[in-house]
C-alpha cells in the first residue's frame, strides 16, 4: 500500500462514507462486553422465503445451547436525525412479556411461570420486562429523503423471528430470546405532544418504541434505537440483561440438558 498512497487515501475516504464503520463500532462494543459477534449474517425472510442480510448478530456465549440469548443489530449510517414518536399510553394494555422481545414458547413459559402472581419464585428480569404505559409508538427519519425507519425495524424484527423459529425447530427446544436493535450515528430525538398542543423535541442517546407487524403472523415488540456514542453503555447493559435472563432460565437449561442426556442414552 505504500506504493499507492493516493489510492489508500481514497479507499479510506470511501469506507468512512459507508455504513461499515458503524457496523464495526457496534460489533466492537459487544465484543468488549464478552458477546460472540457475527457480522454480515443472513436470515430467511419469513414472508418472501428469500435470504436477507443483517448487519450484526450478537449472542451470549453458551457452549451447551440450552439457552440462546442474543441481539440483532441493524446499523443505519446517515446525516439525517431520527425521531421516536411518544405518547402517554403507547404501552397501555399491551402484554409486557409479548412486547419484551421475540422468544420461544419455552422461554416465555419459563419467565411467565416465575412472574409475580404466578409463582412464589422471584423473576429477577422482571425489572427489565416491566415498564410504564408511556413510551414510543413509532420511529421516523426526519427531513428530506426516503424514510429508512420502517425498513430498519422490519429487518431487525424479521431476523429475530427467523432465529426464534430456528430454535423452535430443534428437538430439544432451547429457551431463546432475541432483541431487535437499530444502531445509528446521527442524532436521536423523542417527540411528544404537550398539554398546550405544541410539539416538544428532546435529544436522547437511546430510545425504544413498540413495533407491530404481520410477518405473516402478528408480532409486536420493543425495538431499541441506540446512538453510536452510547454503544459501550448499551452493550454493558445488554450484558447485565443477558446474565439476569440466564439466571432466570436456569431451570429451563437443566430441563434441556436432561432431554439431551436422555437422547444420548
Secondary structure (3-state) at 154: helix
Secondary structure (3-state) at 95: coil
pLDDT in tens, 54-105: 999 999 998 778 899 999 999 999 999 999 999 999 998 889 998 999 999 9
pLDDT in tens, 126-169: 999 998 999 999 999 999 778 899 999 999 999 999 999 999 99
Task: Give the model's confidence band at 1: pLDDT under 50 very low, under 70 low, under 90 confident, else very high.
Answer: very low
Average pLDDT, the chain: 90
Torsion of CA 91, 97, 99, 103, to 10 degrees: 180
Q: How far apart are CA 222 and CA 228, in angstroms?
A: 19
Domain span at 136: 5-264
| pTM greater than 0.85 (yes/no) | yes
Instruction: Give pLDDT, residue 119.
Output: 53
Those residues whose C-beta lies under 8 Å from the C-beta of residue 89, and which sit 6 or more positions away, are: 133, 134
Task: Give the model's confidence band at 244: pLDDT under 50 very low, under 70 low, under 90 confident, else very high.
Answer: very high
Q: Note whether 76 and 148 are within 8 A (CB).
A: yes
Lowest mean pLDDT among 20-24, 119-123, 181-185, 221-225: 119-123
Instruction: Give pLDDT, residue 259.
Output: 66
Secondary structure (3-state) at 104: coil
DSSP per residue over 114-132, as a string?
TSTTT-SS--TTHHHH---
CA-nearest of 96, 103, 88, 106 to 127 is 96
What distance separates the 2 farthest-apart alpha carbons in the chain?
70
CA-nearest of 185, 140, 152 to 53 is 152
Instruction: Give pLDDT, residue 46.
Output: 82
Number of structural domains found in the chain: 1
* pLDDT(261) > 80: no
Instruction: Give pLDDT, residue 117.
Output: 67
Q: How far apart are CA 102 and CA 82, in angstroms?
A: 24
Radius of gyration of the chain (CA): 20
Average pLDDT score over residue span 213-224: 91
Amino acid at each position: 500500500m505504500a506504493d499507492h498512497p493516493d489510492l489508500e487515501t481514497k479507499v479510506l475516504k470511501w469506507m468512512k462514507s459507508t455504513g461499515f464503520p458503524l457496523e464495526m463500532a457496534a460489533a466492537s462494543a459487544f465484543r468488549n462486553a464478552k458477546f460472540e459477534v457475527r457480522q454480515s449474517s443472513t436470515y430467511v425472510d419469513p414472508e418472501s422465503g428469500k435470504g436477507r442480510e443483517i448487519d450484526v448478530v450478537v449472542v451470549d456465549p453458551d457452549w451447551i445451547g440450552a439457552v440462546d440469548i442474543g441481539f440483532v443489530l441493524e446499523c443505519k449510517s446517515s446525516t439525517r436525525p431520527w425521531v421516536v414518536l411518544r405518547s402517554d399510553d403507547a404501552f397501555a394494555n399491551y402484554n409486557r412479556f409479548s412486547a419484551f422481545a421475540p422468544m420461544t414458547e419455552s422461554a416465555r413459559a419459563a419467565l411467565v411461570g416465575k412472574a409475580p402472581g404466578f409463582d412464589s419464585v422471584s423473576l429477577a428480569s422482571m425489572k427489565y420486562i416491566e415498564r410504564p404505559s408511556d413510551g414510543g409508538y413509532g420511529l421516523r427519519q426526519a427531513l428530506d429523503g426516503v424514510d429508512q425507519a420502517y425498513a430498519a425495524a422490519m429487518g431487525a424484527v424479521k431476523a429475530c423471528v427467523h432465529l426464534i423459529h430456528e430454535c423452535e425447530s430443534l428437538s430439544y427446544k432451547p429457551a431463546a430470546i432475541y432483541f431487535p436493535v437499530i444502531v445509528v450515528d446521527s442524532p436521536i430525538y423523542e417527540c411528544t405532544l404537550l398539554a398546550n398542543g405544541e410539539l416538544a423535541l428532546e435529544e436522547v442517546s437511546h430510545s425504544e418504541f413498540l413495533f407491530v407487524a404481520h410477518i405473516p403472523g402478528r408480532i409486536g415488540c420493543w425495538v431499541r434505537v441506540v446512538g453510536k456514542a452510547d454503544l459501550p453503555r448499551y452493550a454493558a447493559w445488554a450484558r447485565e440483561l443477558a446474565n439476569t435472563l440466564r439466571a432466570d432460565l436456569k431451570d429451563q437449561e437443566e430441563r434441556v440438558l436432561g432431554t439431551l442426556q436422555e437422547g444420548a442414552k
